[in-house]
Structure 1
Amino acid sequence: MMNRQRIVITGASGQLGSELKDLLSGEPLWDCVFLGRQQLPLEQTEAIEGLLSGYAPDILIHAGAYTAVDKAEEEADLADKVNHLACAEIARYCRHHQVKLIAISTDYVFDGLSEEPLNEEAPTRPINRYGITKLEGEKAIQKICPDAIIIRTSWVYSSYGRNFVKTMLRLMDEREEISVVNDQVGSPTYAADLATAIRDILKAERWVPGVYHYSNEGQLSWYDFAVAIKELAGKSCVVRPISSEEFPTMAKRPKYSLLDKAKIKQTFGLEVPYWKDSLQSMLAKINSQNSK
């Protein structure tokens, strides 16, 4: 009988980590270990190599990150440690021990000034601290561990954790009217779909290193997304469109960050679900959880 490969997943309690746990735990091919902040504190960069050695992974999925976009403006050093320096340590470990590495990055590495879907060769020019630290993490991984796969994704949501969909559902129950920006365009990513894509990449016949883009199919604004949440969830709250200028945040957001997914689809033969179908699946999952 073939030995099962060991997969170590960071960010165990995050949205993607939680979806990976649901998806991979029953897989006969792999022995999965999920590490949260307690088991692997990413800000303690000097401890990372020793901690990972204790788990001896064959494959490492690095889904852990500092994701508080606005807070990163004030906690730039902490965000840099977690999103950049920890990536460098993880990449070093993977190179030294011949571990396959899949790392998750973000559409926030772009400035949002494009007018067409962004492919992997599009110039990066982040406009907030979070995006800067994620880009530095990407660069460190590519330099230290060129065999790694980096997946940039956008607008991640799930039935787990905190995210836009769950915030909208809560606000729509609490208020008669809400305002949502209509001039930031991209596509959401259901974390369960991204988890499935990662599983399919691991099962693919060949390992092709490099940067890839993944989000659900389609193009929309946050306002469009909120309206769809309202309609599919049967809420009566009024959703009003506003501009980014009317809703100032500590960190700037890219106005346009729609990801071109041609490369990941062609390379690994992936089928990417349409955003509205995925939203419907997630809402159905939440309903079934609530009715238990």
Structure 2
Amino acid sequence: MDGQRKRMVVTGREGQVVRSLLERGAPNGLFDVVALGRPELDLGEPDGIDAALGQARPDVIVSAAAYTAVDRAETEEARAHAVNAVAPGRIAAVAARLGVPVIHFSTDYVFDGEKPDPYFETDPVGPASAYGRTKLAGERAVAQATDNHVILRTAWVYSPFGRNFLKTMLLLAESRDRIDVVDDQVGNPTSALDIADGILAIAGNLLADDAARLRGTFHMTGSGSASWADFASEILAVSARCGGPAAAIGRIPSSAYPTPARRPSNSRLDCGKLHEAHGVRLGSWRHAAAQTVARLIGERP
């Protein structure tokens, strides 16, 4: 890059990745991070996307906002499709017109979760939920609109911001002695703050180098895997050490906690391609989770 700070325009205002980018972007020194959400940018109204993004004058666009109500999507698939598929395609088309790269976020839900090992980018997709179908359609819309794209599949995102599993466990532990948590779904817990650091590195690479190997679909999750029950146990163990709430974890099968949308039993993603192409590898989920818990306990009134 030329040494001048670039404008990274991120869709949404309140999402975990957006808020993490706003926090991490300032000290990064390379980017001014601009959050663009409603009313200026409403992904449910695709006709306004072109003008909103054009006026924001991006050097790189991060398509982070999404319809994420996984269970509700089973009965609102058309609405989820508009936000998760139609809008990203329009965003990518604007990026192509402006001649800037777009980084789009996707999910482990594009896979059916039946593979016994971590998923590679080249593995066949087969979403088992409406949410997964709409996110896969979004990937395809972005790829069709511009070659200058990075699609990042991630999973099990948590942070100090918004609503997420880690914060829910801390909240429940304030009023319960035992929390039952599913133990037969495994994945890679991923810090949104670590994601933000990864995005900043990837964006810098895209602006500095036109190489095709830097573009395409990549997996980006925290290092190490866990079941939801493992994740919960770690969260509350750290909380107890920090003087926060604690509770026993009851390990239950998915059948004991039915949901409208089927969750993948295996959400683990192999991230080797990202490290090879971009030099980005997120750190241990346990370390990042401990930092997040300690921060939240320290921020309590």
TM-score interval w.r.t. the shorter chain?
Answer: over 0.9
For 2:225, the equivalent position in structure 1 comes to: 219
For 1:187, the equivalent position in structure 2 comes to: 188
For 1:76, the equivalent position in structure 2 comes to: 77
C-alpha deviation, 1:3, in angstroms: 4.5
- The 2-side partners of 1:26 and 1:82 are apart by 31
Calculate percent identity across the aligned residue pairs.
Answer: 38
For 2:161, the equivalent position in structure 1 comes to: 160
Letter in 1 for 2:177: E
Match for residue 206 of structure 1 among 205, 209, 220: 209
For 1:262, the equivalent position in structure 2 comes to: 272
C-alpha deviation, 1:2, in angstroms: 5.3
1:54 partner SS: helix
- The 2-side partners of 1:268 and 1:144 are apart by 22
> Following TM superposition, where does structure 1 have runs of at least 4 consecutive aligned residues deviating by more than 6 angstroms?
none
- The 2-side partners of 1:187 and 1:4 are apart by 33
Stretches of structure 1 that go unaligned for 5 or more consecutive residues are none
Q: Contact 1:114–1:257 at 8 Å: present in 2 too?
A: no
- The 2-side partners of 1:181 and 1:2 are apart by 48
- Structure 1 residues 70, 28: closer, same or farther in 2, change over 3 A? same
Letter in 2 for 1:232: V
- The 2-side partners of 1:272 and 1:26 are apart by 19
Alignment deviations for residues 21-56 of structure 1 (CA, whole Å, 9 cap, x no partner): 001134443332111232211000111111111112
- The 2-side partners of 1:89 and 1:271 are apart by 30
- The 2-side partners of 1:233 and 1:184 are apart by 23
Whether 1:253 and 2:263 are equivalent positions in the alignment is yes
Stretches of structure 2 that go unaligned for 5 or more consecutive residues are none
For 1:287, the equivalent position in structure 2 comes to: 297
- The 2-side partners of 1:35 and 1:51 are apart by 8
For 2:175, the equivalent position in structure 1 comes to: 174
TM-score, normalization: structure 2?
Answer: 0.93
- The 2-side partners of 1:23 and 1:284 are apart by 18
- The 2-side partners of 1:32 and 1:230 are apart by 33
C-alpha deviation, 1:157, in angstroms: 0.4
Letter in 2 for 1:247: Y
For 1:120, the equivalent position in structure 2 comes to: 121
- The 2-side partners of 1:69 and 1:242 are apart by 21
C-alpha deviation, 1:221, in angstroms: 0.4
When the two chains are superposed, the root-mean-square deviation of aligned CA atoms in Å is 1.4
Q: Contact 2:114–2:264 at 8 Å: present in 1 too?
A: yes
Q: Contact 2:195–2:282 at 8 Å: present in 1 too?
A: no
For 1:232, the equivalent position in structure 2 comes to: 238
Letter in 2 for 1:76: E
Number of equivalenced pairs: 291
For 2:144, the equivalent position in structure 1 comes to: 143
